[in-house]
Structure 1
Amino acid sequence: MNKIESFHENEPHTANLAGRLNWLRAGVLGANDGIVSVAATVVGVAGVTNSPAPILVAGIAAVVGGAVSMALGEYVSVSSQRDSQRALIEKERRELEEDPETELAELAGLYQAKGLSVTTAAQVALELSAHDALAAHLSVELNINEHDEVNPWQAAYASAAAFTIGAVLPMLAILLPPTELAIPVTFVAVLLALALTGTLSATIGGSSRTVSATRLVIGGALALAATYGIGSALGASGFMQ
């Protein structure tokens, strides 16, 4: 154990805490998407008919379609991020091989810009370069770690799973209660869940929990009211018959 680790053994000095928080935040947002989109779908169908069969079919279609869409979008996004990260790493490695002296001077200059004196910056750059020049440049210049490469498949699975978990709530809320209570129970359950996810997201991000929860609850209520209103209007007009 080194000196830094021995000071506070339980604190994550070497862990990628920011990365973990981003994953957790993404999971909360994915679950929130599942809650809102599937709830809006089943409530809209329930506005047309109170028969469980079409509501179930529409809900399952929304869950599957939404989960696949979330996974695909996350996979494409993270793949692009990974490709960019790899390209930057290879570019920095090539520059270090072709012109190490210029790169050393650049590293020292970056430390000077952070507030170190010329002498200290040069010494720090020299020692870090002797230990791992590539890691030093990637950290200071690009704020990336060569060994913290993002995984698009992991991101896709996590996004799909979070969406599906969030989607379970409105499905159960609309299908389990008696028919006459299904809509109000779904509204209450969804809005409570949104308040919870908003509070959790704000806690992770360090922002106002009240503002975040209120924003999500209002947005969710508008989405449910809009889809239910459209469904009810279509049902009353006889358009779906």
Structure 2
Amino acid sequence: MLKHHHEIHRTDRIGWLRAAVLGANDGIVSTASLIVGIAAANMDQAGIVLAGIAGLVGGAMSMGAGEYISVSSQADTEAADLAVERDELDRHPQHELKELAGIYVKRGLDAELAQRVAEQLTAHDALGAHARDELGITHELRARPLLAALASAAAFSVGAALPLLSAVLAPASGRVATIMLSSLVFLAALGAVAARTGGAPMLRGAWRVVFWSALAMAVTAVVGYWFGGSTV
């Protein structure tokens, strides 16, 4: 008896994973950088927390809106391409069949087999075949603006809440260092989990996130110290 062979693929995660990782990463980095810069300028805790909350709310709305607009543009392009392809299939079905067969020949099938495959796929779902093999549009990778926007905004909020919580709990004497270090730990964990979910090496995923995030926070800390003259 043949055992059922189940393969795990990750391409169906690309849309929401990209938006969620980008949102969470940006939430931690931008909010931590904002808080670090303000803390380094010797702002009191109430002011730091207020700025952090404002950054969280504004950033989440901005990320959600930006992601929705960006992915909507992609969805509009896909819809326009599909409309053109649908029209071509109605007006020139034989030409489109020949075009589809030519694609399969370029991928390695002989002409006779390519023609048979094209005919069968056209009979089953002509538009789907052209969308996938001519335009590169698949169900798994189709643009989904609302899902991307919600994932991005929610992930940003969760990410931003972490350095904000650190700012609330950190002692005044070491507030900047505490926020930076805790945020880098969160970012390293996020990078590792994102890499693991996407099938990439976890250490590499964590390192690239930590490096650039540390640079961003260091720059804002320097700016805060410079303009605020803090000794925190």
- Structure 1 alignment gaps of length 5 or more: 1-5
2:51 aligned residue = 58
Count of residue pairs brought into register by the alignment: 228
Q: Does residue 24 of structure 1 match 2:17?
A: yes
1:120 aligned residue = 113
Q: Distance in 2 between matches of 1:147 and 1:172?
A: 36
Q: Does residue 7 of structure 1 match 2:4?
A: yes
Q: Distance in 1 between matches of 2:141 and 2:218?
A: 43
Alignment-mate amino acid for residue 110 of structure 1: I
Matches within 5 A, 1:77-116: 77-116=70-109
Report percent identity of matched pairs.
Answer: 46
1:170 aligned residue = 163
Measured after TM superposition, the shift of residue 119 of structure 1 is 1.0
Q: Does residue 209 of structure 1 match 2:224?
A: no
Q: Distance in 1 between matches of 2:128 and 2:204?
A: 40
Measured after TM superposition, the shift of residue 50 of structure 1 is 4.7
- Contact kept, 8 Å, 1:175 with 1:182, in 2: the verdict is no
2:183 aligned residue = 190
CA displacement 1:6-58 (0-9 Å, x = unmatched): 933x5468xxx413134223312210111010001011111122511110111
Q: Distance in 1 between matches of 2:184 and 2:198?
A: 21
SS of structure 2 residue aligned to 1:115: coil
Q: Distance in 2 between matches of 1:215 and 1:57?
A: 30
Q: Distance in 1 between matches of 2:214 and 2:136?
A: 40
Larger mean CA deviation between 200-209 and 155-164 belongs to 200-209
Q: Does residue 49 of structure 1 match 2:42?
A: yes
2:172 aligned residue = 179
Relative to the length of structure 2, the TM-score reads: 0.89
Larger mean CA deviation between 192-201 and 76-85 belongs to 192-201
Measured after TM superposition, the shift of residue 166 of structure 1 is 0.4
- Structure 2 alignment gaps of length 5 or more: none
1:221 aligned residue = 214
Q: CA separation of 1:141/1:12 partners in 2, compared to 1, >3 Å: closer, same or farther? A: same
Q: Distance in 2 between matches of 1:81 and 1:31?
A: 22
- Contact kept, 8 Å, 1:25 with 1:204, in 2: the verdict is no
1:158 aligned residue = 151
Q: Distance in 1 between matches of 2:164 and 2:73?
A: 34
Alignment-mate amino acid for residue 229 of structure 2: A
* Cα-Cα RMSD: 2.2
CA displacement 1:105-160 (0-9 Å, x = unmatched): 11111111111111111111111111111111111101214697433222111111
SS of structure 1 residue aligned to 2:137: coil
Q: Distance in 2 between matches of 1:215 and 1:134?
A: 41
Alignment-mate amino acid for residue 72 of structure 1: A
Larger mean CA deviation between 183-192 and 17-26 belongs to 17-26
CA displacement 1:80-112 (0-9 Å, x = unmatched): 111111111111111011011111111111111
Larger mean CA deviation between 219-228 and 156-165 belongs to 219-228
Q: CA separation of 1:208/1:146 partners in 2, compared to 1, >3 Å: closer, same or farther? A: closer
- Contact kept, 8 Å, 1:38 with 1:170, in 2: the verdict is yes
